[in-house]
Structure 1
Amino acid sequence: MKHRDPRGHWILLLLGGLVLGVALLLNGAARGELGESPGRVAADSGVEPPASVTGGGPVVNLADGPMRSARPKPRTIALTFDDGPDPRWTPQLLDVLARHHARATFFVVGAQVAQHPGLARRLAREGHEIGNHTYTHIDMSTSPDWRIRLELDLTQRALAGTVGVKTRLMRMPYTSTPGGLTGPQWTAAQRAGRHGYLVALTDRDTEDWARPSADEIVRRAVTSARPGEGAVVMLHDSGGDRAATVAAVDRILTTLSAEGYRFTTLSESVGLPYSSVRASTAERMVGTALVFAQRASGWLIAGLATLFGLAGLLTLTRLGMLLSLARVHVRRVRAKENVPDPDPPRVSVVVPAYNEEMSIEATVRSILDSDHRAPIEVIVVDDGSTDDTARIVAGLDLPGLRLLRKTNGGKPSALNAGIARARADIIVLVDGDTVFQRDTVRTLVAPLTDPTVGAVSGNTKVANRGGLLGRWQHIEYVIGFNLDRRMFDVLECMPTIPGAIGAFRRESLASVGGVSDDTLAEDTDLTMAICRAGWRVVYEENALAWTEAPSSLRQLWRQRYRWCYGTLQAMWKHRGSIREGGRSGRFGRRCLTYLTLFQVALPLFAPAMDLFTLYGLLFLDPWWFAGSWAAFVGLQTLAGAYALRLDGEPVRPLWALPIQQVIYRQLMYLVVIQSLVTAVLGARLRWHTIRRTGTFTPDGRSVPARPSA
C-alpha cells in the first residue's frame, strides 16, 4: 500500500494554533473588568502635580509649549461618559440626549468600539464628541510608557476603522478632578501629553460607577459652589448597571436647562476646536483589520463557550452511560456464575506474526500452557518475517504447535491463511505480542456455547505499565476500552474485538467472508461485519490477555493513528447498517451513533473545552474554572476507581490520572484530528508496527499476577 501520509497540514495546524492563541489573548486582554477600581496601586513616583494643575481647569494641554488648562464657559455643561460604548446603556443615554437636543462627550474604550462599531458610528453621526479612554481600560499610572502608547494607539485604530476619525482628546481611567491627581497619574498624563493628547479630567464626579441612587447622581452633578459656573460632569455608560445613570441624566438635562444652562461637547465648552480629525486611508484600513480581529475573537470565544458546554454535556452523558450499563453488565455476569460449564470445545488458535522474535515464544508457550480441557492447536502464521520469528517457533517443537510460512501480505491475509488451516470450529485469534493466563482460553470460549453468539472479546491488559506512559495506557485500557465493552455487550453493538484476544465461531467467520483488508483496523471491520450478519458479540471480562503497549510517544502515536484511521474507515464502510432492520440495524444505530458522538465529535469538541478552561483561568473567573476542572477530574477518578474495582485492579495508578488529562488526552485528540484530516484528504496509510522491547520472558513469566476478582 503506497504511503501518502499528508505532512503540510501540520504547518497549517501550527499556524492555526498561533492565530487562535493571538485571538484568545486579544479577546482576553479586551475583557478586563471595567469600572473605577484599579487592579494595583501605583508606587510613589516622588513627583507631585504642580499647583497650577491641581488648582486649574479640567482640560490640560501638555502637548506643545508650557502647560495650560482650561475651564468650561459660564452656564455651559459638558456631560462626559466613560467606559463605553455599551450595547445596553449607551443607546438609552443617546435617546435621552436626543430628546433634549443635547450633545455630550464619550470617552470610549477601544475594545468596546471594536466590539460594537455601530454604536461608535452612531455617536459620531449624532454629533457627539469622542475621546480616547485606552483600549482595555488600563491604569495608566501603573503602566510603562510602551503600554500606554500601545493602548492609546489601538483605540485610535479602532476609531479609524469604525468612524474614520482620530481624536486628540483622552481621559485616563481611574482619574477624577484635577485636585485628586496623584504623582504617578501626573507622570502618566505627561506621557500622554508627549504623544499629542489633551488630558481631560472633571469638575464634578458623580461616582455613578459605585451605583448610587439617581437622586444622589443628580445632586452631585448639579451642586455648584458658584452659581452659573460651567462644569465638566463625569458619568459612565458601561461597566455595570447604569439604569440610575440614565434616569439621572434625564433629570439633569431637565433641571439645568430650565436654569439657562446649555449642554455641549467638552472641546466646545472650553472654546477649543473639535478634537477629531479625519483618519487617512491607510489608518482606516489598519483600523478595519483590528476591528475585524477583535470581533472575530469575540465570535471565537462565543463558539468556544458553546463547544465547552457541548463537550461537557457529552462527557457527562458518556460517563453516565458507561457507569450505569457497567452495573447492568455486572448483574448479568453474576447471574451466570452458578451455571455449570458445558463440555469444552476443541479450539484452534491462530497467531499472525511479523517480526515478533522478542515475544513469540512467550505467546505460544502461554497459550499451550492452558487449563482448557479439550485439545488446543496453535497455528503461527509467519507473514514473511525478516527476523528470527520463524526459526524460534520451529525450534520449540511443542505438541499442538504448527508453523505456517507465507510471503508478506499483511495481517488480514495471515489471519485468513491460519483460519483456512485450522481444524476446530472454535477459532481464537491472538496477536504475536500477547500472553495468556492459564484459564484464558477456557473462559474466552465459554460464551460460544450459546448458539446465537458468534464471537467473544477478551479483556486486554497492559503488561508494561511501570512508567508514566504505561500507567496512562493501563488506565485507558481499563477505564476506556473495558467499560466501553461492558456497555456494548449490554446494548449488543460491540464494534471491536481486539486483535490481542478474540474467539470466533467458524460459521460466523465464514458468513462474512473471513478477515477483510479493506481497512487498517481489520479487527473492527471484522467485528462490525459479524454484528451486521446477525450474530451476537459479547465481552468476557475474565478472559485476560497481557499485551505489550507502546513504550514511547512516537510508537504510541503511530499505533493510535492507525487504530483511529482504521476505525473511521470501518465506520464509513458499515454506515449502511443504520438504514437496515433487525440486528444489523440495531447495531448500526446504536454503535455508529455512539462512535460518531463520543469517539469522533467529542475529541473534536474537547480541545475547545480545554482551551476555554485555560482562557477562563487567565481572563474570567479562575476559581470557577479551576473548580469545574477539578470536578471533572474528580468524576473521572471515581469512574476510574469503579472500573479498576470491576477489573480487580488496585486503584494506585489513579494518581497519574490528572496528569493524563493534561498531556495524554491532548495527544489522543490530535490523533483523531490527524486521522480525520487524512481521511478528508483521501490519503492512504501503510501498515504500522510498534517496536517490541521484550516485556515478556520466553515462558511468559513476566506477566503480572492475575487481578483478584
Structure 2
Amino acid sequence: MNREEMERQRRRRKARIKKKKRQARIRGVVLLIVIVVLFAGAFHKLKSLAGNGASGVGGNQIEWFVLKNMDALNPKRAYTPQEIGNLTNNIINDRIEIRLAKGENHITRASDYAYDAGEISDIIQGKREYTGKKKIAFLTFDDGPNHKITPQILDTLKEKEAHATFFVVGKSVGEKNRDVLLRELSDGHAIALHSYSHDYHKLYPGRVANAAAVEEEAKKTQGALQDILGKNFHSGVWRYPGGHMSWQGLEAADSKLKDLGISWIDWNALTGDAEPASRRPTTAPGLVEFLKKSMPKNDDASVIVILMHDAETKQLSADALPHVIDALRDDGYSFGILK
C-alpha cells in the first residue's frame, strides 16, 4: 500500500471518529432535554400534590408527551441542530397544548368552541331561545374510552378538523386508557361523565332514579378522571345512561348533580347506532340517513346534540363518522364541545 492510499485511509478513519463523536454529542443533548423535561414534569407533579394550585397536568402526562415525540428518534443517525431545536419545540408545545383550562374538562385552546352544557340542554329542550347566528353541532360519544374504537374516532376527528365531547364510563377510566384520555384532551375535545357503572338497576331501581347512587357515581367518575388528568380537571357535564327522558323521579338526582357543579344533557339527534336491532341502521350511509331524519325540523335545528357511541362494539359508528361530519358541514354546521 503506497503512502497516498495510507493517507486516504487515515483521513477516512478520522472522519468516521469525528462523525461518531458528533452523533454522541447530539444524542447527549437529546437525552439532556428529556431529563430536564421529565424532571420539570416530576417537580410540577410534586407541586400539585403539595396543593399549591399549579395549573396543567402532572409529570406523568408530560412524560407521555415527551415519549410520544421521542418515538421517531433514530439513535443510529446524526441529528442537525435544527432538528434538535424542532424536537425541543415539539416537547414544549405539547406541554402547552395539554394545559387544562382550570376547573374545566378541556384544554385552554378549546375554550373558543366550548359551550355551557346547561345552556345547551335548555336550548334543545325548548326552555331557552338560541340567539346565536351560526349552526352548531355537538358530536357526543358515549361508553368509552377504549383502544379499539375510540382511537379510530379520534383519527377521523383530527383528519376532518372537527371536535367532540366524550362521555366516559368511570369503570373504564384508569392507567390502561391513560393515553386515550390524554389524546382526547390534547386533540381539543371535551371529556364528560356517563356514570361509573352504567348499571341501570343500580341507578334506576324500578325505573326510578336513586339520587344517592347517581351522586356517588358522579363523584367516583370525576375522581377517576382527576387521578389521570390532575386535580384541576373538572367535568361539569353528565349524561344519564339511557337518557334523562327514560326514567322517573330524577329531580333529586338533578339537584345532587347541580350541587356538584354538574349539568345533565341528553340529545336531540342521533345516528341510531344503539337503537334496537329491528330499526338500527346496518350501513354507514344508513347511519347518516337516520341522523338526518332524527334532526329537528324547525328553528331548533340550529343547535343539535348528536348521540353516538364509541364502545368496542361500535365499528360501524367509527366507519360512518367521516360521512356524518361531511353531511353536517354541507348543511352549514360548525362543531362545538360541551363544558
- Counterpart CA distance in 2 for 1:127 and 1:102 is 9
Tell me the C-alpha RMSD between the 2 structures: 2.8
Alignment partner, residue 218 of structure 1: 288
Alignment partner, residue 249 of structure 2: 184
C-alpha deviations, 1:332-381, integer Å up to 9, x for none? xxxxxxxxxxxxxxxxxxxxxxxxxxxxxxxxxxxxxxxxxxxxxxxxxx
Alignment partner, residue 149 of structure 1: 215
- Counterpart CA distance in 2 for 1:90 and 1:252 is 16
| Cα gap change, 1:71 to 1:97, in 2 (>3 Å) | farther
CA contact (8 A) 1:141 1:185 kept: no
Please show how residues 576-587 of structure 1 align to structure 2 within 5 Å.
none
- The amino acid that maps onto 1:237 is D
Please show how residues 515-530 of structure 1 align to structure 2 within 5 Å.
none
CA contact (8 A) 2:211 2:250 kept: no
Within the alignment, does 1:118 sit opposite 2:184 as a pair?
A: no
Structure 2 unpaired stretches of 5+:
1-117
Normalising by the residue count of structure 2, what TM-score does the alignment of the two structures yield?
0.54
- The amino acid that maps onto 1:111 is K
- The amino acid that maps onto 1:183 is Q
- The amino acid that maps onto 1:135 is Y
Task: State the 1:69 CA deviation.
Answer: 5.4
- Counterpart CA distance in 2 for 1:84 and 1:236 is 8
Alignment partner, residue 236 of structure 2: 168
C-alpha deviations, 1:511-560, integer Å up to 9, x for none? xxxxxxxxxxxxxxxxxxxxxxxxxxxxxxxxxxxxxxxxxxxxxxxxxx
C-alpha deviations, 1:548-590, integer Å up to 9, x for none? xxxxxxxxxxxxxxxxxxxxxxxxxxxxxxxxxxxxxxxxxxx
Alignment partner, residue 107 of structure 1: 167
Task: State the 1:242 CA deviation.
Answer: 1.1
For residue 261 of structure 2, the aligned residue among 175, 187, 196 is: 196
Task: State the 1:185 CA deviation.
Answer: 3.8
For residue 330 of structure 2, the aligned residue among 244, 258, 282 is: 258
Between structure 1 and structure 2, the one with the greater Rg is: 1
CA contact (8 A) 1:60 1:199 kept: no
- Counterpart CA distance in 2 for 1:184 and 1:212 is 32
- Counterpart CA distance in 2 for 1:118 and 1:157 is 17
Alignment partner, residue 236 of structure 1: 309
Task: State the 1:195 CA deviation.
Answer: 2.9
Q: Secondary structure at the match of 2:302?
A: coil
| Cα gap change, 1:84 to 1:253, in 2 (>3 Å) | same
Task: State the 1:60 CA deviation.
Answer: 4.8
Task: State the 1:58 CA deviation.
Answer: 5.6
Normalising by the residue count of structure 1, what TM-score does the alignment of the two structures yield?
0.27
CA contact (8 A) 2:163 2:189 kept: yes
For residue 248 of structure 1, the aligned residue among 315, 320, 332 is: 320
| Cα gap change, 1:137 to 1:71, in 2 (>3 Å) | farther
Please show how residues 334-349 of structure 1 align to structure 2 within 5 Å.
none
| Cα gap change, 1:166 to 1:57, in 2 (>3 Å) | closer
- Counterpart CA distance in 2 for 1:131 and 1:72 is 25
- Counterpart CA distance in 2 for 1:126 and 1:209 is 26
Task: State the 1:71 CA deviation.
Answer: 5.8
Alignment partner, residue 141 of structure 2: 81
- The amino acid that maps onto 1:205 is L
C-alpha deviations, 1:605-637, integer Å up to 9, x for none? xxxxxxxxxxxxxxxxxxxxxxxxxxxxxxxxx
CA contact (8 A) 1:57 1:71 kept: no
Task: State the 1:181 CA deviation.
Answer: 4.7
Structure 1 unpaired stretches of 5+:
1-55, 62-67, 267-274, 276-709
* Structure possessing the higher relative contact order (Cα contacts under 8 Å, 6 or more residues apart): 2
| Cα gap change, 1:71 to 1:124, in 2 (>3 Å) | farther
- The amino acid that maps onto 1:81 is F
| Cα gap change, 1:247 to 1:186, in 2 (>3 Å) | farther
CA contact (8 A) 1:204 1:220 kept: no
Task: State the 1:194 CA deviation.
Answer: 3.3
Task: State the 1:186 CA deviation.
Answer: 4.6
Q: Secondary structure at the match of 1:209?
A: coil
- State the percentage of identical aligned residues: 27
CA contact (8 A) 1:141 1:184 kept: no
Task: State the 1:117 CA deviation.
Answer: 1.6
CA contact (8 A) 1:222 1:252 kept: no
Q: Secondary structure at the match of 1:59?
A: helix
- Counterpart CA distance in 2 for 1:170 and 1:246 is 23
For residue 121 of structure 2, the aligned residue among 37, 41, 59 is: 59
| Cα gap change, 1:167 to 1:138, in 2 (>3 Å) | same
| Cα gap change, 1:244 to 1:136, in 2 (>3 Å) | same
C-alpha deviations, 1:285-333, integer Å up to 9, x for none? xxxxxxxxxxxxxxxxxxxxxxxxxxxxxxxxxxxxxxxxxxxxxxxxx
- Counterpart CA distance in 1 for 2:329 and 2:298 is 17
C-alpha deviations, 1:397-446, integer Å up to 9, x for none? xxxxxxxxxxxxxxxxxxxxxxxxxxxxxxxxxxxxxxxxxxxxxxxxxx
| Cα gap change, 1:86 to 1:190, in 2 (>3 Å) | same
Aligned residues: 203
- The amino acid that maps onto 2:225 is L
CA contact (8 A) 1:141 1:187 kept: no
